[in-house]
Amino acid sequence: MKILIVDDEPDLCWALERMIRTNDMWISIAGCSTSAMNLLKQHTYTVAFVDAILPDSNGFQLARHIHMVSPSTSIVLMSGYYYREDMDEAHTHIGGFLAKPFLISDVRTILQQVLSADQIRQEQYPCNTYC
């Protein structure tokens, strides 16, 4: 399983990586949207944790881009400024939300939820098409 973490706070990336790392995970970290988009050209990710506010873009724009280039990637938006209530129908491609600061239990719960939803989606659409 490949996980992408996009956040401009190195300490948060380090902590999040340690919260979710298991033996079967390969984790990439990007500090900005540009780096994340370069990684997306090279790899397909199962889950992307994306900060809502990045130095070169906002996380909503990056989430839309990730969804366009890799619709099978589940996206978890992270923010200390926005909250779940701020999500609306325009952001339906966002599979989960983590409010900063978060606990390890929050991270593991949301990861389990998006992976479960991804498994259900794969069972419904086995050839990865959504038409």
Q: In what order do the strands lie in the sheet with 2-6?
A: 26-30, 2-6, 47-51, 74-79, 96-99
- Paired tokens of 127: 């050839």
Helix (H, G, I), strand (E, B) or coil at 57: strand
- Smallest CA-to-CA distance from 75 within 63, 58, 84, 61 is with 63
Q: Report how many domains make up the chain.
A: 1
What pLDDT is stored for residue 126 in this prediction?
A: 54
Q: Which residue type, as a one-letter code, is found at position 26?
A: W
User: Which domain does 102 fall in, by range?
Assistant: 2-124
129 in any annotated domain: no
User: For residue 23, how many other CB atoms are within 10 A of its CB?
Assistant: 4
Structure confidence at residue 93 (pLDDT): 76
Give the pLDDT score at 122: 57
- Alpha-carbon distance 11 to 30, whole Å? 12
Contact 102, 51 (CB under 8 A): no
CATH number for position 48: 3.40.50.2300
* Domain-embedded: residue 7: yes
pLDDT tens, N- to C-terminus, the chain (131 residues): 999 999 999 999 999 999 999 888 999 999 999 999 999 999 999 999 999 999 999 888 999 999 999 999 999 999 988 655 555 544 567 888 898 999 999 999 999 999 887 665 555 555 554 44
pTM of the model: 0.86
Secondary structure letter of residue 89 according to DSSP: G
Say whether 82 sits in a helix, a strand or coil.
coil
Answer yes or no: is 130 within a domain.
no
Instruction: Indicate whether 47 belongs to any domain.
Output: yes
Candidates 7, 70, 11, 5; CA nearest to 40 is 70
